[in-house]
């Protein structure tokens, strides 16, 4: 299991992000989750990706689940251009630019 889980937005449509988070958090309860697993909520997907990459150390694996190949994100009734790959590349470049 993961040491850190960051729950974030993914095509919320008409659901509240808080309700989605609460449903996901309930799924963790009763599962075989390591006692030291840290679970964070970050409604802003870009910030969640930034946080995950920022927290990662040598040898860690960061998994971005949910959007994959999709080219947009639907928040409420508005569809925005989106790419997890582009955002992850930007955040990795920021982290390792020295």
Q: Which residues pair with 61 in a beta bridge?
A: none
Express each pLDDT in 73-89 by its tens digit: 998 889 999 999 999 99
Rounded mean pLDDT of the chain?
A: 88
Q: Which helix (H) or strand (E) holds 20?
A: helix 17-28
Instruction: Taking the CA atoms of 95, 51, 64 and 82 in sequence, report the sign of the dihedral they define.
Output: negative
Count helices and strands in the chain by DSSP H and E runs: 3, 4
Please name each of the domains of the chain with its CATH number: 4-96 (3.90.190.20)
Mean pLDDT, residues 3-27 taken together = 86
Best CA proximity match to 51, nearest among 1, 87, 75:
87
What is the value of pTM for the model shown? Answer: 0.86
Run of H or E including 50: helix 45-55
Is pLDDT of 98 > 70?
A: no
């Amino acid at each position: 299991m993961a040491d850190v889980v960051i729950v974030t937005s993914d095509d919320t449509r008409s659901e509240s992000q808080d309700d989605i988070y609460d449903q996901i958090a309930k799924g963790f309860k009763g599962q075989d989750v390591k006692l030291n697993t840290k679970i964070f909520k970050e409604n802003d997907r870009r910030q969640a990706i930034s946080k995950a990459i920022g927290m990662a150390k040598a040898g860690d694996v960061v998994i971005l689940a949910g959007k994959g190949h999709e080219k947009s994100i639907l928040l409420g009734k508005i569809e925005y251009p989106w790419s997890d790959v582009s955002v992850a590349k930007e955040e990795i470049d920021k982290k390792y630019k020295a």
